[in-house]
Structure 1
């Protein structure tokens, strides 16, 4: 198993500054995680002896993950450092399996204020761990997770065109150039960890002071591959998404590197020369050149991602 070599930590600022309205826009714009991810997490938790008392989603944002799994647990909690995100999550609501409202709490992941020791059966962290200081997060998790509990950490990187798209090679080149050139200067350290499929994320046994409460022997790392491909050991087949141009633009609007690009180019943001709008026109042109009908342009997209599963001994 490769050991991460870069231990730098960059605090996330874009989403932390979100208002409640921005949080609800984020919730409506982002596509759902594949059901197979949730099923795999629940199966791992069940088959390794996990209980279904309390679930906690850390870095919950507007709460889609905890809302999805809450009905399987007696109690459910979402934690996020952004007051705006927590306000939007509370407005959107949700109930646990015992019909109790999900409890949404403002807290940093590294401190988990108000969370009692040995009180959590399943911890989920979706597209957020790359913003945490893992040297503080793992020791705190060891305190709040019950023995026999599970920690599930996952993230999907920037969506890329599937090979079944018209003009797929040109599309891939276009979006790769967008990510590697236009957005690269606006990538924070956390973005790059996410793009690495968490190969550089610090694990309980790779931090300076290892946390022995998490079992390295039962650890699983599952790389996401598109459905239809041969699935090898250590891989998880996820569906291919079909997105309209409007879908792509809404998703891009919630990406932190896009926010930073707009902050660096205030004269272009929101105009026809905005990076998102300009990129959309280029994508539409490449699709049309490939024979796609201009009145129904869609992209079949894959999300390079990874799911990490840990057990608390």
Structure 2
């Protein structure tokens, strides 16, 4: 998590390249919340809010507060606020556009007093792609403190992306993300133990009743929107179809790959990799887009990210031959398995 707190971290580029969370996920959380006795729709909090992508969808609540330890992330979220939706979805009762307020505060998820969050003052707490950093011996007691009776806490994270049209690329993705070869793998350069927690679909996060003195958090559900991925390790009854997917250009996938925190760590250790000679595969890449003045994702160079990106395209060609569409501006579908933990306060 320290990568995102550095002054050199570019939060705007990060925001533009990350996938968005699907409406089906919010529908699931809102339906869970709606059916709890005493559920209210006044205040929601997004922990580790980053650039605000997740909290923008919490508009059914009257007041939405994003909390993050990174000043860069908070600045980017404030800049993005103008684009947040303000219209009511009809989930909450009596909610109008003027009721919607998006605020941002720096703070720690495990100590929300520092961010001014009072006892029993919150109806919904979420954390998107952040909960693997939390200290759950402190986190669950803090959720019990800040949630109102009938309040909901929902935490989710997504794992390695997949290319459903090119399944032959999956071993290459796993080797790049989890392997140890310094020429083609980022495995050793992730921050631990957070990385291992979301690789295992959050199953290493303890339940509230496993944490001492936590007695009022219940109705726990663990749901895995993983579809056909990792079926051998996930409980069948809790595994649902994939809901997180995005159609993008191959070029956009490269932009996403560059947001990985492990890339920054890798390049701190291997400075020479950033200026490695151009990878000559797919020479047509450099001929695309020269006629436009619009800045786009750079596809040149030969660093570890570009090498992996071109390995994926080569695997797609090997798997489908001429049917594969692997030009830098060709479209492809990307999927992410996603795990959700949700509880309520009684």
Give the TM-score of the pair, scaled to structure 2.
0.78
1:122/1:145 contact within 8 Å kept: yes
Q: Which residue of 2 aligns with 1:137?
A: 139
Matched residue count:
291
- Structure 1 vs Structure 2 CA RMSD: 2.2
1:150/1:311 contact within 8 Å kept: yes
2:257/2:305 contact within 8 Å kept: yes
Q: Does 1:225 align with 2:226?
A: yes
1:162-210 deviation per Cα after TM superposition (whole angstroms, max 9, x unaligned):
2x32xx22x1121111122112111221011111100111332223x24
- Counterpart-to-counterpart distance in 2, 1:255 and 1:245: 16
- Higher mean C-alpha displacement, 54-63 vs 184-193: 184-193
- Equivalent residue in structure 1 for 2:56, among 55, 58, 67: 67
Q: Which residue of 2 aligns with 1:15?
A: 4
2:189/2:262 contact within 8 Å kept: yes
- Counterpart-to-counterpart distance in 2, 1:87 and 1:176: 34
Q: Does 1:157 align with 2:146?
A: no
1:87-143 deviation per Cα after TM superposition (whole angstroms, max 9, x unaligned):
111111147654443110000111112111111000011110111111112212211
Q: Which residue of 1 aligns with 2:282?
A: none
1:81/1:106 contact within 8 Å kept: yes
1:18-44 deviation per Cα after TM superposition (whole angstroms, max 9, x unaligned):
56x722221111010121111100000
Q: Which residue of 2 aligns with 1:178?
A: 176
Structure 1: runs of 5+ lacking an equivalent = 1-11
Cα shift at 1:157: 0.7
Q: Which residue of 2 aligns with 1:7?
A: none
Highest CA radius of gyration, 1 or 2? Answer: 2
- Counterpart-to-counterpart distance in 1, 2:85 and 2:63: 9
- Counterpart-to-counterpart distance in 2, 1:177 and 1:16: 27
Q: Does 1:253 align with 2:258?
A: yes
- Counterpart-to-counterpart distance in 1, 2:247 and 2:145: 42
Q: Name the SS for the 2:46 alignment partner.
A: strand
- Counterpart-to-counterpart distance in 1, 2:154 and 2:310: 38
Q: Which residue of 2 aligns with 1:107?
A: 107
Structure 2: runs of 5+ lacking an equivalent = 87-96, 180-184, 277-300
Q: Does 1:33 align with 2:21?
A: yes
2:189/2:265 contact within 8 Å kept: yes
Cα shift at 1:252: 1.2
- Counterpart-to-counterpart distance in 1, 2:7 and 2:160: 21
Q: Which 4+ stretches in 1 moved above 4 angstroms?
A: none
Q: Name the SS for the 1:72 alignment partner.
A: coil
1:58/1:80 contact within 8 Å kept: yes
- Equivalent residue in structure 1 for 2:335, among 302, 305, 311: 302
- Counterpart-to-counterpart distance in 1, 2:216 and 2:98: 29
